[in-house]
């Protein structure tokens, strides 16, 4: 039970946040296309150029950076670094919808404003019109006025700043990408946008995806494998302890097996009994472990992601198989081999 609860909590917590981030980023994206440039980025006037292309309704330049927030957590001073998006406010609602709950993103202009995720604002006890102190990418400390609160912070970040507020404090001020909303989403509009950006070297226009507005890139297969391996090693050692315990219990039941043979039970009947016991142990362990894990996971998922916990079915299936094999190894093998010297003959 404890093995199941441990593995479920470790894997489901990360999966829940990853899934919620994906969903929020996908819901926030309203652009049809995205333009990306070379490593040096795209100049600020590139967004203006693509806005004039036929069929283009809106274009928003996006600059990525990070900020540091100094605050207190449980009474202790803490420094947290957050990746952020720097955007141009005009035409932003047509390309990105952060789900504004208070204020207006149209006010996200100049060098002294910021939009904040509503949960982060609640933690900091601030609202629209209040100020928050941040350190920008080069260490400059600024006080910014909160002009809007939004709900999709898991997908697009805890803070959103005007592009001009970040441009002077990063090593690469050009836009990393341009979000483009077209009238019909067709290939003709995409071609027109590409032609408008043709004077700029190395620009590519493609269909926009949720990853283009995610504040952090999705975890790689290597990262997922490392997490699964780490949890698997710890869970594997715990399962070895379970096998040892079940084996000792089963070996201690040898007199019971002898007695069953003495009263006329056959080897098949005894083996069938062990199979049923193994199934009950595995099902009970999975059910109780899942229930124990669900209690903290539900509280975590609802408070952080606003959703139910999520664990990929494949991962849970592997866990169920491992628990079943462990229960069988701890019960069937010592029960069969341990009692064979009496079960094989009539007593």
Give the 3-state secondary structure of residue 186.
coil
For residues 257 and 122, membership in a common domain is answered with: no
186 lies in the same domain as 258: no
Higher per-residue pLDDT: 84 or 332:
84
Residue 270 has pLDDT above 80, yes or no: no
Q: Please check whether residues 204 and 258 belong to one and the same domain.
A: no
Report CA-CA distances (Å) from 313 to 10, 12, 239, 268, 302.
Answer: 15, 11, 20, 35, 20
Average pLDDT of the chain?
83
Of 208, 238, 254, which marks where a domain is finished? Answer: 208
Q: Does residue 155 sit in the same domain as residue 266?
A: no
Tell me: do 203 and 263 sit in the same domain. no
Q: Is the pLDDT of residue 341 over 60?
A: no
Inside any domain, residue 288: yes
Instruction: Among 208, 235, 268, identify where a domain stops.
Output: 208
Give a yes or no: residue 257 inside a domain. yes
Distant-in-sequence, close-in-space partners of 18: CB < 8 Å, separation ≥ 6: 218, 219
Q: What is the pLDDT of residue 172?
A: 58
Structural domain of 77 = 30-208
- Assess whether 7 and 41 both reside in one domain: no
Kindly indicate the confidence band of residue 42, based on its pLDDT and cuts at 50, 70 and 90. confident
Over residues 59-95, the pLDDT tens digits come to: 888 888 889 988 777 767 788 889 899 898 888 999 9
Residue 315 tokens read as: 């991962």
* Residue 237, C-beta contacts closer than 8 angstroms, at least 6 positions apart: none
Q: How many domains does the chain have?
A: 2
Beta bridge partners of 160: 85, 115
Any idea which residue has 């341009």 for tokens?
178
**Single residue among 152, 173, 208 that ends a domain in this structure:** 208
Are 70 and 199 found together in one domain?
yes
141 falls within a domain = yes
């Amino acid at each position: 039970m404890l093995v199941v609860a441990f593995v479920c909590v470790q894997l489901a917590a990360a999966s829940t946040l990853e899934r919620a981030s994906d969903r929020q980023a996908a819901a926030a994206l309203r652009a049809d296309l995205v333009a990306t440039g070379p490593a040096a980025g795209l100049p600020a006037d590139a967004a203006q150029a693509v806005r004039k292309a036929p069929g283009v309704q809106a274009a928003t330049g996006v600059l990525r950076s990070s900020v540091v927030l100094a605050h207190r957590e449980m009474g202790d001073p803490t420094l947290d670094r957050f990746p952020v998006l720097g955007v141009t406010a005009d035409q932003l609602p047509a390309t990105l919808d952060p789900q504004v709950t208070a204020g207006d993103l149209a006010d996200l202009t100049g060098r002294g404003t910021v939009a904040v995720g509503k949960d982060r604002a609640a933690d900091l006890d601030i609202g629209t019109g209040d100020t928050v102190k941040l350190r920008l990418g080069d260490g400059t400390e600024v006080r910014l006025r909160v002009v809007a609160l939004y709900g999709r912070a898991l997908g697009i970040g805890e803070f959103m700043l005007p592009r001009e507020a970040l441009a002077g404090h990063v090593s690469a001020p050009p836009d990393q990408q341009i979000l483009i909303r077209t009238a019909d989403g067709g290939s003709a509009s995409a071609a027109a946008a590409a032609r408008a950006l043709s004077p700029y070297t190395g620009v590519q226009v493609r269909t926009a995806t949720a990853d283009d507005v995610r504040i952090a890139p999705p975890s790689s297969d290597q990262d997922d494998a490392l997490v699964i391996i780490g949890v698997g090693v710890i869970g594997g050692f715990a399962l070895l302890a379970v096998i040892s315990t079940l084996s000792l219990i089963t070996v201690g039941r040898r007199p019971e097996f002898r007695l069953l043979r003495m009263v006329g039970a056959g080897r098949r009947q005894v083996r069938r009994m062990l199979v049923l016991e193994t199934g009950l142990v595995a099902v009970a362990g999975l059910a109780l472990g899942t229930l124990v894990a669900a209690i903290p996971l539900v509280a975590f998922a609802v408070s952080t992601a606003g959703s139910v916990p999520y664990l990929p079915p494949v991962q849970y299936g592997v866990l169920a198989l491992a628990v079943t094999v462990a229960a069988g190894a701890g019960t069937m093998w010592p029960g069969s081999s341990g009692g064979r010297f009496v079960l094989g003959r009539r007593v």
